[in-house]
Amino acid sequence: MIRPIIFFTDFHAHIFEDYAKPDPELVNDRFRAQMDTLQQVFSIARHYGADVVFGGDMFHKRGKIEDVVFNSVYEIVANNSDIQVHMVRGNHDSKNNTTDSPHWLETFKYLSHVRVHPKPTMTLGNGYTIAAIPYSDDIAYLKDCISTYAETAKGIQNTVLVAHVGVDGAETGRYSHRLEGAFTVGDLYPEAFTYVALGHYHKRQFLAGTDNVFYGGNTIQTSFSDEGQDKGVFLLDWKSKPQFIPIKNRQFITLDHIPENVQEIVDNNYVRFILPKEQAQEVAILKEESDNIRIEIKKEYQTETRIDIGMESTEEEIVKVYTADKYPHVTQLALDILAEAKSS
């Protein structure tokens, strides 16, 4: 029987303290939301009769993890023992960036339903084959591994490459800034694998016009860099394009005005207001009643031009004004040269 996969990645479990309220068991409500989200991942997998495949960065801190963070994540994974899990090591799960790095996923391998992939490997799942590429600075080695796995994948069906890597040209952030990565889409052999499921960059996206090479994005928003995009998991059913399944959580939102439903937005999200001083005073009362608000005063800049020209000025007007101010004796000559250049 071929089981579908629920793919999630870049979970970054951590006690984020900003915009947070205390929680008696899990330190604060933001971490509780993370743990509720992790349980939802398994609930979704159970609904679809799927295995869970994780693409790296289960934890946020690299040097030291709080005990409540590790224990809470471990407990949820252990309590969902009816679901097969594959976990690929990300850079935030690792002590360093070497291929053999010690890592925070080590203990999970002692759970009978969990397979941890700290090094490149190709292994059988439930009716499918997974090629796992954990994070490493040894790019040449990883590329060689992917090439070898791709040759094997060409001869079989239902294959997924799961890699925690940076791909050149992928986007990040609200304004779609393009990143430089060590890998190209071609290095991932999209023609050889049924799916190429990626972790490392947090913006959910398909790459290079393909419908099978994609970044899963982080599972839950963690800052304003995630603004404007729903988060969740992907269903891989081996029959169609990966299907995104959102998991509802509070989102980070920036407002430069005061909408009519401002109270509803504040109650259900983490909100940053960037407003003129007068408007900022209007929403100050909301801040007194909620931990979900930050207010920044919008700075106003005035630009004084040294000569009387603007964006709407014609080329002739610009030449006239500039030369009249700086070199009045050459105004006509400059206009003649401009006319000649435009006619040629």
pLDDT along the chain (344 residues), means of 10: 97 95 95 98 98 98 92 98 98 96 97 98 97 97 98 97 96 74 96 98 96 98 95 98 98 94 92 90 78 83 63 76 77 74 62
Instruction: Return the pLDDT at 67.
Output: 96
In whole angstroms, what is the distance from residue 56 CA to residue 45 CA? 18
The structural domain count of the chain equals: 3
Q: What angle do CA 142, 212, 168 make, to 5 degrees?
A: 50
Whether residues 179 and 312 fall in one domain = no
Whether residues 156 and 42 fall in one domain = yes
Query: What pTM value is reported for the model?
Result: 0.85
CA dihedral angle for residue 244, residue 250, residue 252, residue 258, rounded to 10 degrees: 120
Q: Is 64 exposed, middle or buried (0-12, 13-18, 19+ CB in 10 A)?
A: exposed
Whether residues 48 and 193 fall in one domain = yes
Whether residues 151 and 182 fall in one domain = yes
Enter the tokens of residue 293: 């608000």
Instruction: Return the pLDDT at 260.
Output: 92
Per residue in 117-164, pLDDT (tens digit) is 999 999 999 999 999 999 999 999 999 999 999 999 999 999 999 999
Whether residues 138 and 236 fall in one domain = yes
Whether residues 104 and 148 fall in one domain = yes
Whether residues 242 and 258 fall in one domain = no
State the residue range of the domain holding 293: 252-297
Residue 250: DSSP 8-state: -
Whether residues 46 and 164 fall in one domain = yes
In whole angstroms, what is the distance from residue 252 CA to residue 87 CA? 28
In whole angstroms, what is the distance from residue 128 CA to residue 194 CA? 10
Whether residues 174 and 289 fall in one domain = no
Cα distances (Å, whole numbers) of residue 307 to 193, 225, 333, 336, 338: 61, 40, 20, 21, 19
Which residues lie across from 295 on neighbouring strands? 273
Residue 22: DSSP 8-state: E
Instruction: Return the pLDDT at 312.
Output: 67
Instruction: Return the pLDDT at 287.
Output: 74
Strands 232-236, 5-8: pairing kind: antiparallel
CA 319 to chain CA mean position, Å: 48
Instruction: Return the pLDDT at 316.
Output: 77
Are 150 and 193 within 8 A, CB to CB? yes
Closest to 198 (Cα-Cα) out of 128, 114, 134, 105: 134
Q: Encode 49-98 in three state secondary structure.
A: CCEEEECCCCECCCCCCCHHHHHHHHHHHHHCCCCCEEEECCHHHECCCC
Whether residues 222 and 158 fall in one domain = yes
- Boundary of a domain, candidates 246, 262, 285: 246
Q: Is 332 helix (H, G, I), strand (E, B) or coil?
A: helix
Whether residues 191 and 50 fall in one domain = yes
Are 122 and 130 within 8 A, CB to CB? yes
CATH of the domain at 22: 3.60.21.10
